[in-house]
Structure formats: C-alpha cells, structure tokens
Chain A
Amino acid sequence: MTALTTGARASAVGTAHTRVEGRDKVTGAARYAGEIPFDGLAHGWLVLSTITRGRVLSVDADPVLGMTGVLTVLHHGNAPRVDIDYTGVLGMPPDPTIAVFQHDRVPHAGWPVALVVAETSEQAREAAESLVVRYEEEAHDVTFPGERPDASTGPGPGGPGATEKGDLEAELAASAFVLDAEYSTPEEHHNSMEPHAVTALWDGGRLEVVDSNQGTVWVADELAKLFSLDPASVRVRSEHVGGGFGSKGVRAHQVAAVMAATSLSRPVRVVMTRRQMFSLAGYRSPTTQRVRLGADAEGRLRALEHRCLSRTSTVYEFIESGAGPARVMYDAPAHHTENQVVELDVPSPTFMRAPGEAPGSFALESAIDELAEQCGIDPIELRLRNEPEVGPVSGLPFSTRNLPACFREGARRFGWADRDPRPGVRREGRWLLGTGTAAASFFAGAAPSTAAVTAEADGTFTVRINAADIGTGARTALTLVAADAFEVPTDRVRVRIGDSDFGPAMIAGGSMGTRSWAWAVTAAAGELRERLSLGDGIPPEGITVRSDTTEAVGALAQKERHSFGAQFAEVAVDVATGEVRVRRMLGVFAAGRIVNPLTARGQFRGGMIWGISMALHEEAVRDRNTGALYGADLAGYHVATNADVPLVEADWVDDPDPDDPVGIKGIGEIGIVGAAAAVANAVWHATGVRHRALPIRPDRVLTAGTRA
C-alpha cells in the first residue's frame, strides 16, 4: 500500500495547476453535449411563436410530415402530458416554460410551439421553418419600467422581499448630506459560447440524457418529476460544459427532446440556435432602482434606502433582488430595502452571474460614490467609515469581513493615493481620463453534497462526485483538494464528475459548487484514509467510501457569510464621439482560500470582464410594439471583445473561511459585483457626468456631454 506516504509534501491546494482536461480542450478532443455520436440519432428543431401574446389556433403539421426525412412534429395537440406540480432540488417550483406543448396559450414572444424531428439537422431546420402555425393574437404589454402600480414585493434568491428598520424620512431630514438617485440596468443575456444542447434516449428501460448543464441531478430530478418516472431510471451526464452563468438548468429543449425520444423510440438531439437562446435560455431582468442615502457631516450613514424593480413573465415569478447587497454592505439607523417585480408578456428571467448583486451593486456603489463626492470624502475612506460590525439587517456576526484589507491592498497597487478627486480635469489627446472604485460582496455558502472516493489497487485514487465544470476549473480544483486529502501527487488522483448516477451534489451555482464538493470529497477521503490505515490491503475492486455532508453543512452556525472585494478601474472617454475605453482594472478579493491560483485568477478576471461588458456594452432591446427582442444575436447583443479588455489584474488577500474544512468560500460571481460601478464611477471622474443608466453607450455619453 503506497497511498499513505508521509513526510513533507507541498500543499496542492494553493499551487497553480493547469487544467487536468486542458489538453483535450486545446486539441479539440473534448466532446461537449451535442457532439457525442449515437446510432440512429434524430434531430429536433424547436419552432417558436412569432406572436407575443395570444393562442395557437392550429399547427399545420401534415405538409411538413410529407417532407423528406421528417419523422414527427410535436405540439400542444399531440404531445404527452407532463406534471409541473412539484418542487425542484433548488427548493423552487419549476418555471412552467419548461412544460412545453401542454396548452395553446402563448405568453411571450419566442414561446416554444412545436418541435420538428427529422433524420438530419438540415431537414429538421428546413421543415421547422416551413411549418405553418396559425395564431389568435392579443394585445401585449412589455413596457418596462413605465408606471407600474401593479408591481408586487416578493422574495428573490437573495432573501426576503423587504427589510425595514428605523424612521427613514426622519433620518434623511436630519442628514447633512442626502443623495436621491435612480439607476437602471437593461435586459441582459448569459450567452454562454456553447448553445444549450441535449440528446435524450431510452436505453434498457432507463432514460439517458447527455446534456450541457450546471447540475445533472438538478436536471435528472426535474425530468423524473415532469415525466412521472422513478428517479433511479433517469441518468443525466454532462462531461464538458461550454459555459453556463446560470442559464443551464432545466429548459424547454430537454423536455422536448425527452418527449420526442419517447415517442420515436430513438435518440433525439435538440440544440438551441443562438437566436432561440434569447427566448428560451433565461436572462437577467432589467431593473430600475432608487437609492436614497443620508449621511452626517463625517459621511456616516444615517439613512439607507434601496428599492429595486424588476420584471418577470406572466407564468413564473423570478425576482432580480437588486436591493440585496445593501443588507450586507452598509448599516444605518434607518435602513430600508425592497425588491419589487411586475409581470409582463416577456420570457421568464432567471439566475444570471451574481443575480441581484450585479445590478444592485451598480446602483448602490454608484450612489456611495455620489455621496462621497457630495461629502468631499474619498470614496474608499467613506466606505471604511461605514464598515458595519454585524450584519446590518440580521444582526449576526460576519464569519470574516476583510473588505478593508482589499481596499488597502488595492489602493496601494492601483496608486489611489495620488488620485486628484476633481472630475473632468485629466486629458490625454482626445481622451479624458478618470479612475473609480467600488466594493463587492457575494454570499459564501455551502450545500449538502455526496461523494464517493475509491482507493484503487494500483495506488491511485478515484473520486466520483456530481460536480459540473462549466469553465470554473472545478475538475482541477477537486483534484488538488483530493490530492491534499490523500497526501499524494495530483497525478495519482482521477476526478470523475457530471453524472447523476454519482448521487446528489450541489450544482455549479451560487458560487457554492467548489466549496460544497470539496467538503464532500474531503470528508470521504478522511474516512477512506482511516480505513486504509487499518492496513488490510486493497482488493482488486478497490476500497470505496461515500460521504454525505448534509449533517455537517446543516450544523454551520448562523453567521453573515460572504466574500468581499475592492474593484478599481481607469477609463478613457472621448466626449466628442462618446467612446469609453477601460484602460486598466484591478480587483482585490477576500474570498476564502484559493484552491488553484491559475484558474482562480482567470475566474475573477472573467467576472470583472463581465463587469466591463455590463458597464459599456450589454443591452437587449425589446421592441414595445412587437414585444420581441431587436437584434437577438451576437452582432446585435454586444458582449466585450478582446479589444475591449485591457490588462485586468485580480489578486486576493488571505481570508480562509474558518468554518470550511478546506477554507474555501467561492469565487464564481464576486468578480462581476461592483465592477460596473467602478467603471461608471471612473467615467464620472473622467467627464464630470454621472451615468446612471447602463450600458454607458456612445450615444448616451454624447447626449450627456460634459458638466463643464
């Protein structure tokens, strides 16, 4: 038995390691969900509604069924019934959007009305585009924000709908400085590079689903419930995932593929087109947010109010909880937050990288910057003066709160001390220059997970855990965690992920994946080492130990648990053309123990680049007359290109989580939080003009001009 070699060995956790699947990814050998061959594969093509509200009168399937290669047309008139009266593994009811072809109602533009299945994808596409669907159209309402007396308050992923303490109006009246401003963010789309793709087939009485998702158990559980199947008879695999960002859960295409595979008794693949993703893959709701701040003469907050209005569909309530960050970041004797939502004839929004925090931090961290300007206090100093002792709403202690350390380290590296606070006074050629900063926070949680670890007879270890690597480097991170747990080199550890047969585990979401999985792996490894220490030798089939962290995670004490960060940006603005360029960016984070510095740095930077993209580029435009998106493709919806991204640096301060076996918090989302505000604050510093509506497009800069 060679497993338990002792003696000095460098920790794998904390040491840069290239991705274990890296060679497959750079050679093209890595196969994603839509790329795995199956005998007898048929291709499904979704047909989406061309009206925004109304009902389907008829689906004229017969002419299409006569076309070469066409196998079936599924629609509300012939599709099998599914059950949506359940609660999914995330503790939420399903978005009825996934229950395709169950009725004739059309609640939004791009609603799936049929699936055409054919022998080849060209045939399926040609037939789908030929399919005549007749509608009865009704008047629709997609206007946002407008006057919305029908808005309601409700909980989002970030917590309760409203929190309230203290007398807001009295404290505002007694404040030396008062800021009252409205901010807005547009409809934003995830746009993972890999479109949603699935293949479904029945094999030996089991439903086999090869999919691109953020959690195979999430998808397997809901498919079993939708189709009233024994959970053990559904297997979902997801080996390589080309990005998710919150959009790759249960979606219409998987349900349609299962229906078709069942009715045709052969494998059926359904892949969304890029254009379809804009209707079917979820998105981030637009928001309008009002922030009122009152401060005393020294800049200490007396009043904080943050109200966020977002939008959902008429079939499902998802609330973009932009008022959430204020509940963590800043305290005040009067402290009010509220998340409101209005139902419109639009697709259902969903989680998108840092839901709530991304748009909420834009408003709050812009407002803090505006208050600092009013008070004549440096914006970092203002934040440090308002560091809360305990959770502003909960009153609970923070597990760790190293935000000041992030600001101190960031300010030093960015050269903040030399900053002239006056706006609009730095010019270089046609460019006005400015710098800005903002704070970031994101919830640091863990969720119950199971893992199985096997000591193989050859001295290697196999880890089976239902993790998803959507680009996060989870497969590699867990390899490092396991190597440390077994005290062996990383090349003796094999990590297998993305298979619902491995048992329940946290999804890749909420910045909780790696922490939750690492906990389960560490727990199982610890027990396995105890077994091995008995010295009984390893049989040919190996020795396998399973873990379940439900109890341990449930025993975590109630605390405010968050990652924190300080964002810095320098921008150049040409006010004659409206162009804004980010020149450099720095983020310093306190986000738990960093497992793999190589991939972590990339993940932080990726989040910050999302912040650049959110600040300057991303905006899905919904035409109020048609109710549909204008320019729903990657030429019309701009995400940052390489040329938009300067040197972006990300680093971190020591911040191990004291209650996590590995010290991890989670880093998937905090990179975007505050990043757009830092850019917007820098645009103000460059030009003297506040941009409270994202994105800061050239036309908006041109129209705003300069304060001078």
Chain B
Amino acid sequence: MREFGYERAVDVSGALALLDADPDARFLGGGTNLVDLMKTGVERPGRLVDVRELPLDRVEPTGAGGLRIGATVTNSDLAAHPEVRRRYPALTQAVLAGASGQLRNMATVGGNLLQRTRCGYFADVSGPCNKRVPGSGCPAIEGEHHNHAVLGASGHCVATHPSDMGVALTAFGAVVEYETADGAGRVPLGEFYLPVGDTPHLETALPAGALITGVTLPAAPVAANSRYRKVRERASYAFAIGSIAAALDVRDGVVHEVRLAFGAVASRPWRAQVAERALTGGPADAGAFAAAADAELAAARPLPHNGYKVTLMRNLVVAVLSELAEEATR
C-alpha cells in the first residue's frame, strides 16, 4: 500500500512547514473537490495537510470600504454574511447557485478558487487529458464538448473553470492573498489563472508551496446593484453551461459604471472588459448591451457543438443588464 499521511495544521506557518516538508503533500480544505479527485485517481497525494481549522474563517470590513474574506470561510458562511449580501449581492447569489447546501457547508473560499475543471475527460483516468497528463492529448476537441470553453481556450485544452463564486469575485476585482515560507503575496484574481496555451496543467499564478490565506474585495459601490444568473441543464445542483455576474450603475440613462464577468465559457472566470469599456459612458439600453456583448464575444472560437454558448452569453448580458438598468431607474 502507498503511504498516506494526514496532519492537521493549527497556524499558517505550521501549515507551510508541513507542506514544505513533503513534495507529495497537498492542502486539504473542505475536501469537496480534492477527496473526490483522490477517489477517481486524478489526485494521488502522499500526504494531506488539513488547513480547515486555521484561524482564517472571518469576513471583515477593510478600512477602505471593501471586505476581506478568510480562506477557510465556508461557502455557506460567505453567502449568509450580511455585509456580503448588502454590498455584493451577486456574490451571495453566485455562491448559492453552486453545488448543494451540504457541499456549501463544507467547501471553503480558498478551495473554491483552486477547484479543478469538471471536464469528463479530466476525471476519467483511463484516457488522455493534457491537463492531467501533459502531452497526452485532448479528447474533448474531437469528442464531447458541448459544455466546453469558447473563450481563451487552446488546441491543447478546452476545459472550463467550474466556479460560480469565482465569477462574482472576478467581476468585483477581488485580490487573492497568500503566504509562502518566504513571505506574503497578493495577486488580482484577474491574473490568478494562467492562460491555457500549451500548458493547461499549469493553472494558477500561485507560487509553489503557497497557501491562500484570503481574498480581498475592494470597495465597489456599483456592486450593490448586482446580479448573478446561472444557466444549467437542470434547475439546481449542476454546474453552469453559462453564467454571468453583472453590476450596473446608471445615471441619467448613461452607464456610469458596469462590471461583467462570465462563467463556464473559459478556463477561468472571464472578466468581460471589452464589453465593460464599450458600455461605460454610453446608453443603458438593450441595443448597447447587445453590441457590447458582441464586442466581447468576437473573440469566441466555438467548437462544432458549443457555439450556442455565444448566443447564450449574449442573451444573458442583454437580459441581466436590462433588469439591472430597469431596477436602477425604478
């Protein structure tokens, strides 16, 4: 039998030291993704360092009007937090749109950001996958890909990132905070996930051995008027086929500020900055929303069976921004 160690860390420095001591070690948060991947054989760590009980379980206001969310805050606690619901309602909606009540009670914010794709080829260790076994090939491109990426993918991998939470965090410009044995660091969520290119197995900008300690949401008054909409193949307990986090501030019929991010269309939560720029300062009407969506989606490179996602995202942009515009002027 392979040896399989387990240690429970009580503080961040201890966690880092435990991980550093073993190249086969992995951090364990809620376990909702890692334990599943261990069962399917995708992940085969030699040791787990349990960080769930680290004192990183607080949601606190920052001095600058934002919120700092500890890495071990559970999805449930994040979604239920009054300040999150008040200042960033789309974040609460995104978290609640994900998984189930049971899984949200277990899953942590840090783990959510690091969860792996739900591509069926990635999960099936009997076949190839460039993300799992670099260089082995991507069966999705010629095979089943109706729920794969249309933006930012490559000929090496067309998997999507499954997070709902991450889409809202991306829209609101969240910054990931981490610690390593050499000190602390920060990286904006927009730069946290690496481009796919020919290295789909390299997923994040997190330095080796680093532990995510929290996420900071900058102040964003626009987020108070925000919404998350998720489309999936059943009404609940399913991953998205397309989702959107949007926030809109309309003044005198003109878009003063807008935030847009897409889910389930790329290897990372997709901040729609082209659309945001196109909209800002312009009219807040359906025509402008559609034109902005088209501008963003001009970069889409659909495969034979996922072209509907371009239509879906365009329609979602128009629908959700129209709702927010109407509510803002009501």
Interface residues of A (CB under 8 A from B): 50, 67-68, 123, 126, 129, 275, 430, 576-579, 581, 616-617, 621, 623-626, 628, 630-633, 635-636, 638, 640-644, 697-699, 702-703
Q: How far is the CA of A578 from the CA of B146 in the complex (A)?
A: 14
Chain B residue numbers with a CB within 8 Å of A577 are 231, 242, 312, 315-316, 319
Q: How far is the CA of A636 from the CA of B242 in the complex (A)?
A: 16
Q: How far is the CA of A430 from the CA of B318 in the complex (A)?
A: 12
A626 pairs with B139, CB closer than 8 A: yes
Secondary structure of the A side of the interface? loop
A644 pairs with B234, CB closer than 8 A: yes
Is B143 in the interface zone, CB < 8 Å from A?
yes
Chain B residue at smallest Cβ distance from A576: B315
A640 pairs with B316, CB closer than 8 A: no
Q: How far is the CA of A68 from the CA of B319 in the complex (A)?
A: 59
B311 pairs with A702, CB closer than 8 A: yes
Contact digits for B289-330, partner A, Cβ 8 Å, 1 yes 0 no: 000000000000000011011011001101100000000000
A578 pairs with B1, CB closer than 8 A: no
**By CB atoms of chain A within 10 A, which of B235, B238, B239, B305 has the most?**
B235
Interface residues of B (CB under 8 A from A): 1-2, 40-41, 118, 120-121, 123-124, 126-127, 139, 142-144, 146, 231-239, 241-242, 305-306, 308-309, 311-312, 315-316, 318-319
Chain B residue numbers with a CB within 8 Å of A631 are 120, 123, 144
Chain A residue numbers with a CB within 8 Å of B40 are 275
**Other 10 A-B pairs with CB < 8 A, given A576-B319, A638-B233:** A50-B127, A576-B315, A630-B124, A635-B239, A638-B234, A641-B236, A643-B237, A699-B241, A699-B306, A699-B312
A698 pairs with B241, CB closer than 8 A: yes
- Selected from A578, A623, A628, A635, the residue in CB contact (under 8 A) with B231 is A578
Q: How far is the CA of A526 from the CA of B244 in the complex (A)?
A: 67
Known: A126-B2, A617-B234. Contact between A702 and B312, CB under 8 A?
yes
Q: How far is the CA of A624 from the CA of B143 in the complex (A)?
A: 7
Q: How far is the CB of A598 from chain B (nearest CB, A)?
A: 27
- A–B pairs, 9, beta carbons within 8 Å: A430-B319, A576-B315, A628-B126, A630-B120, A638-B233, A641-B234, A641-B238, A698-B232, A703-B308
A699 pairs with B143, CB closer than 8 A: no
Q: How far is the CB of B45 from chain A (nearest CB, A)?
A: 14
Known: A67-B1, A577-B231, A617-B233. Contact between A638 and B139, CB under 8 A?
no
Q: How far is the CA of A577 from the CA of B143 in the complex (A)?
A: 24
Question: What are the 5 A-B residue pairs with the smallest beta carbon separation, nearest first?
Answer: A631-B120, A643-B236, A50-B126, A643-B235, A576-B315
Q: How far is the CA of A576 from the CA of B319 in the complex (A)?
A: 8
Chain A residue numbers with a CB within 8 Å of B118 are 635
Chain B residue numbers with a CB within 8 Å of A430 are 319
- Selected from B123, B124, B127, B231, the residue in CB contact (under 8 A) with A579 is B231
Chain B residue numbers with a CB within 8 Å of A640 are 234
Q: How far is the CA of A452 from the CA of B275 in the complex (A)?
A: 75
Chain A residue numbers with a CB within 8 Å of B233 are 617, 638, 697-698
Chain A residue numbers with a CB within 8 Å of B144 are 621, 623, 630-631
Chain A residue at smallest Cβ distance from B306: A699
Q: How far is the CB of B165 from chain A (nearest CB, A)?
A: 17
Chain B residue numbers with a CB within 8 Å of A616 are 234
Q: How far is the CA of A616 from the CA of B316 in the complex (A)?
A: 21
Known: A126-B2, A625-B139, A630-B143. Contact between A636 and B120, CB under 8 A?
yes
Q: How far is the CA of A628 from the CA of B120 in the complex (A)?
A: 11
Q: How far is the CA of A699 from the CA of B144 in the complex (A)?
A: 14
Chain B residue numbers with a CB within 8 Å of A625 are 139, 142-143
- Selected from B124, B239, B309, B318, the residue in CB contact (under 8 A) with A628 is B124
Known: A50-B126, A576-B315, A630-B120. Contact between A702 and B239, CB under 8 A?
no
Q: How far is the CA of A674 from the CA of B248 in the complex (A)?
A: 45
- Selected from B142, B236, B312, the residue in CB contact (under 8 A) with A578 is B312
Q: How far is the CB of B100 from chain A (nearest CB, A)?
A: 9
A699 pairs with B126, CB closer than 8 A: no
Chain B residue numbers with a CB within 8 Å of A633 are 123
B146 pairs with A699, CB closer than 8 A: yes
Chain A residue numbers with a CB within 8 Å of B2 are 126
Chain A residue numbers with a CB within 8 Å of B124 are 628, 630, 632
Known: A430-B319, A625-B139. Contact between A699 and B234, CB under 8 A?
no
Chain B residue at smallest Cβ distance from A697: B233
Chain B residue numbers with a CB within 8 Å of A68 are 1
Q: How far is the CA of A635 from the CA of B121 in the complex (A)?
A: 13
Chain A residue numbers with a CB within 8 Å of B139 are 623, 625-626
B234 pairs with A123, CB closer than 8 A: no
Chain A residue numbers with a CB within 8 Å of B142 are 625
Q: How far is the CA of A616 from the CA of B238 in the complex (A)?
A: 14
Q: How far is the CB of B226 from chain A (nearest CB, A)?
A: 19
Q: How far is the CB of A432 from chain B (nearest CB, A)?
A: 14
Chain B residue numbers with a CB within 8 Å of A638 are 233-234, 238
Q: How far is the CA of A638 from the CA of B308 in the complex (A)?
A: 20
Chain B residue at smallest Cβ distance from A69: B1
A578 pairs with B120, CB closer than 8 A: no
**By CB atoms of chain A within 10 A, which of B139, B142, B234, B239 has the most?**
B234
Chain A residue at smallest Cβ distance from B238: A638
Chain B residue at smallest Cβ distance from A622: B144
Chain B residue at smallest Cβ distance from A644: B235
Chain B residue numbers with a CB within 8 Å of A702 are 308, 311-312, 315
